[in-house]
Amino acid sequence: MTDTAERADAPTAAAAPGHRLRPLVLLRAMRPHQWVKNTFVLAPLLFAGPQLLDRGAFGSEVVVRVAIATLAFCLGSSATYLLNDLHDVGADRAHPVKRLRPIASGELSMAQARAAFAAMLVAALALAFVVGPRVAAIQAGYFAMNLAYSKGLKRVAYLDAVVISCGFLLRALAGGEAAQVHLSGWLIACTVLLALFLALGKRKHELMTSDAEHRAALEFYRIEHLNFALGVLAALAAGAYALYTRDPATIARFGTDRLLFTLPFALFGLWRYYQLLDDHGTAHSPTERMLRDPIFLGNGILGAVAVLAVIYGLAA
């Protein structure tokens, strides 16, 4: 850990020996609301098609494998959040919102956070290895990338967003490996574009709040540039999904060309996320806003049902 982090730990170091670990405090430090991002691990299972049902017992085993991979990424992502908070504890204590995080506030001691980080990392890698060596390798790559992000890449404008988007891609690749499903090139392109859209949306939110004073990379971002990039990425992501639905390989896999009918849900979800970014009345992160917004959630549920109905013939 850096000298800055060690110095920042000084105010709570004396109290550490008698500082009992509170499970709810640790859970808050793990940021479970961010686990929604790990639904990207489940996405390949959703698009596996009727062939999954034809696999019988093996199909059930695949579902279990994907579930374990998702749990591994939940633990792995929480471990990276703890690592990042340990690294940035000094800066977080000077931040109007982040100072309330468990490590920055002293509710969770540095020693407890380090122990929790190590335990989660080991558990995540072990679970991933249970699914398969390739999934474990992807999980290890995900952690290595986030380590580089915490150590410096997050201070490089636009590269920070690319790193975040790569995290979503690794989730999808792990899900595809766990489900033993070949991911369409169009679906991979859609994942990357959507991830960049979400990452730059987060940067826009930070730029419009006090985070602009506390994150070095934001100095090189401009609202007008982000608005343009978000519009382009939304159009490209929607276009990639539309092309995926019309791809002959997709139609052959699912035995229908009706998947295009689910495009309106994707378009509305992109628009709603963009609209939530312009809501200045709350300091909640974009992820928290999505999870609190009944319109976004309702559209997501209806969209998932529509995809299932088309792919698995429920609407036939």
**Tens-place pLDDT, residues 96-134:** 777 888 888 888 888 988 999 999 999 999 999 999 999
Predicted pLDDT at 154: 83
209, 172: one domain: no
Q: Which of 79-93, 138-152, 154-168, 254-268 has the lowest mean pLDDT?
A: 79-93
Q: Which of 135, 154, 182 is the last residue of a domain?
A: 182
Predicted pLDDT at 92: 75
8 falls in which pLDDT band (50, 70, 90)? very low
Q: Is the pLDDT of residue 58 over 60?
A: no
State how many domains the chain has. 2
In a domain, 76, yes or no: yes
- 248: domain range? 184-316
Residues 150, 87: contact at Cβ < 8 Å? yes
Percentage above 70 pLDDT, the chain: 86
113, 200: one domain: no
Average pLDDT rounded to a whole number, residues 33-51: 85
Dump pLDDT digits (tens) for 285-303.
788 888 889 999 999 999 9
DSSP for residue 184: P
- Per-residue b or e along 226-255, where b marks 16 or more CB atoms closer than 10 Å to that residue's CB: beebbeebbebbbebbbbbbebeebeebbe
Predicted pLDDT at 51: 66
Distance CA 268, CA 282 (A): 22
In a domain, 229, yes or no: yes
Q: Which of 13-27, 200-214, 225-239, 255-269 has the lowest mean pLDDT?
A: 13-27
Q: What is the pTM of this model?
A: 0.83
In a domain, 15, yes or no: no
